[in-house]
Amino acid sequence: MRDLIVNRPVFILLTAFFCVVLSIIYMPILVMIIFSFNSGRYQTLPFREPTFEWYVNLVADSSFVDSFFTSLFMASLASLAATALGFFAAYAFSKAKIPFYSLFFGLILSPLVIPIILIGIGMRLQIVSVGIEPALWLVLVGQTLYVLPLAVINLKNRIDKIPKSIEEAGISLGSSKLHLIVFILVPICAPTIFATILLTFTFSFDEFVIAYFLTNFEITLPIKIWTSLVTGFEPKINAAGSAVFLFSLILGFIAQFILLFKQSEKQNGIEPREM
Amino acid sequence: MIFLSLTTETGFGVNNFIYFFSTPYLTQALFRSLILASVSTLIAGVISWPLAYFVVFCVKEKWRPLFLLAILAPFWTSFTIRAFSWQLVLSDNGVISWLIEKATGSSVALGILYTMNASIFGLALFGSMLCTFTLYGALVSIDKKLVEAASTLGARPYQIFRDIILPLGLPGWLAGIVLSFIVCIGDYAVPTLLGGGLKPVLAQIMLSILKGTYDLSQAATIATILAVTVIICASPLLFFRLFKRRRASA
């Protein structure tokens, strides 16, 4: 089919364009990683001798380490909560007949199409007008809601592909609804569930605005990085940036890999239903 | 919840809005937000076509997700860090100006960092990932048989593009455009780190109000105005999509 759509010169042009864009996307990140090993105090070339100094500084800086663990903790809880809630929401949207289906589905997905800064401000104004003090658990709630649409979309796509006959078979063999979900649907969706947890984890781990607006003193890693960037540059930010970037890159890559590759294959001998 | 809080905070009267529109600093910021978001989105939209085209039509089916991931990967890593990494490259003593200096022997001040152009550049790159992703979804689902049939009937690649791929890819592309516009207009990191703080956009002002002067009703006003702007700008495109779908199903 390729030859029908793209002739040779166009093919070369497109390939070249793709490579150029790809290198533009990754160049600054590579530069940052290289600089994180540069022993010079200032971020200028030429490159001095390599050093691990900034990474050592980073690990020794307790405020960075603390914020890392705060983020880790928050992102784990938020991703688990969002995936669990998302699974049931996706199941309901996929199988049950819901009145005003598109309205509710649109509402669940709406955080995707609202600028996140508006979500953050809205939440902040909300808690202030109700009289709650900004705190870490609010961030947890906020981030769970923020990543929920991702979980719902991914899981709904998967559940949609499970043929109805499987559920019917289970029910006619005497399994209860709960038994059905726990022992049949969850195992079938296991790779997707795993990928969804990873994906929501990375999004919540890197999330800045909600955490920034809903806390006063507790600090997550993105906030720490942001404040140290705005208040004045230190070379260890390069190290922190590189580490965080690689961390979320790898997690996200695994998640997307499962979603894009595994999902299209047959799973557990179940043919994907023609959509 | 979000909208409730916005309306109650500003519901005391229109004074806040009068203040907003009579303050040149704020109206300029709104204007700047709009220009920044639309130009970046436009560039992103243009870039996304060849990118998605390459991934869908030039790559073997098996490898498509891998190439798509290569483009998308930075998307789910921290916004802030990526904006910052561009600082290293674009600044007056950054990598690019160093390379130019090495090549030409004379030192040049690049003068890109902390300008609107730098912001546009950063946001366009980000938006193009979104657009490519949604466009990819649309292009991948194009039925091969359509293309084969057209080609058997003597259609040239350009005709196939114009009559099959373009109309079928358009809905996905438009969704990407809307998403990218929304992300661009609400972004604070790129305008702060690449565009500098002297000519702030609305998102930056909101951020500084909430953490600085703490004038909540003013923040709510700005947020409401931004929300209305987004709705106004996004609605024609959404209507277009709806209209298209109606016509397709009729």
Binned at pLDDT 50, 70 and 90, residue B108 comes out as low
Identify all chain B residues contacting A116, using CB atoms and an 8 Å cutoff.
Answer: 186
Range of the domain at B6: 2-249
- pLDDT of A211-240, one tens digit each? 888 887 778 888 888 888 777 767 778 888
Count other C-beta atoms under 10 Å from residue A35's C-beta.
24
Using CB atoms, pick whichever of A2, A22, A237 lies closest to residue B70.
Answer: A22
Structure-block tokens of residue B134: 């949604």
Q: Is A244 on the interface with B (CB under 8 A)?
A: yes
What mean pLDDT, rounded, does chain A reach? 80
Which of A41-45, A199-203, B212-216, B233-237 is least confident?
A: A41-45
ipTM above 0.85? no
- pLDDT over 70 at B66, yes or no: yes
Please say whether the beta carbons of B202 and B226 come within 8 A. yes
Q: Which of residues 29-68 of B touch A (CB under 8 A)?
A: 47, 50-51, 53-55, 57-58, 65, 67-68
State how far the Cα of B169 lies from the Cα of B56, in Å rounded to an integer: 11
Region B60-73: mean pLDDT is 81
The band of A82, judged by pLDDT with boundaries at 50, 70 and 90, is: very high
Residue B249: is its pLDDT beyond 60?
Answer: no
Neighbours of B117 (CB within 10 A): 15
- State the pLDDT at residue A76: 92
What is the domain count for chain B?
1
Better-predicted residue by pLDDT, B204 or A82: A82
| CB neighbour list of residue A88: distance below 8 Å, 6 or more residues apart | none
Note the pLDDT tens digit of each residue in B18-33: 667 777 778 888 888 8
Least confident stretch, A98-102, A183-187, A197-201, A256-260: A98-102
> What are the b/e assignments for B220-245, b being 16+ CB within 10 Å?
bbbbbbbbebbeebbeeeeeeeeeee
A4 — pLDDT class (breaks 50, 70, 90)? low
CA distance B23 to B40: 26
Q: Assess whether pLDDT exceeds 90 at residue A81.
A: yes
List the structure tokens of B148.
């084969």
Q: Give the pLDDT score at A3.
A: 62
Residues in chain B within 8 Å Cβ distance of A14: 50, 53-54, 58
Residues of B in contact with A138 (CB under 8 A): none
- Whether residue A133 has pLDDT greater than 60: yes
Q: Residue B215: give its domain's CATH number.
A: 1.10.3720.10
Q: A132 — contact with chain B (CB < 8 Å)? A: no
Taking the Cβ of residue A12 and every Cβ of chain B, the question of whether any pair is shorter than 8 Å is answered with: no
Any B CB within 8 A of A224 CB: no
Residue A45 — pLDDT band, cuts 50, 70, 90?
A: low
The fold adopted by the segment(s) A60-262 is MetI-like fold (1.10.3720)
Rounded-to-integer distance, Cα B211 and Cα A223, Å:
13
Q: pLDDT tens for residues A110-123?
A: 777 788 888 888 88
Q: Which amino acid is at A253?
A: F
In percent, the amount of chain B with pLDDT more than 70 equals 80
Q: Using the beta-carbon criterion (under 8 Å), do A29 and B85 form an inter-chain contact? A: yes
Q: In this structure, are residues A229 and A237 in contact, taking their beta carbons and an 8 Å threshold?
A: yes
- Fill in the DSSP letter of residue B94: S
The closest alpha carbon to B227, from B18, B15, B21, B33, belongs to B33
* Cβ–Cβ < 8 Å for A120, A212: yes
Torsion on CA atoms A145, A130, A223, A85, rounded to nearest 10: -20
Among chain B residues, CA nearest to A239: B81
Write out chain A residues lying below 8 Å of B125, CB-based.
Answer: 24-25
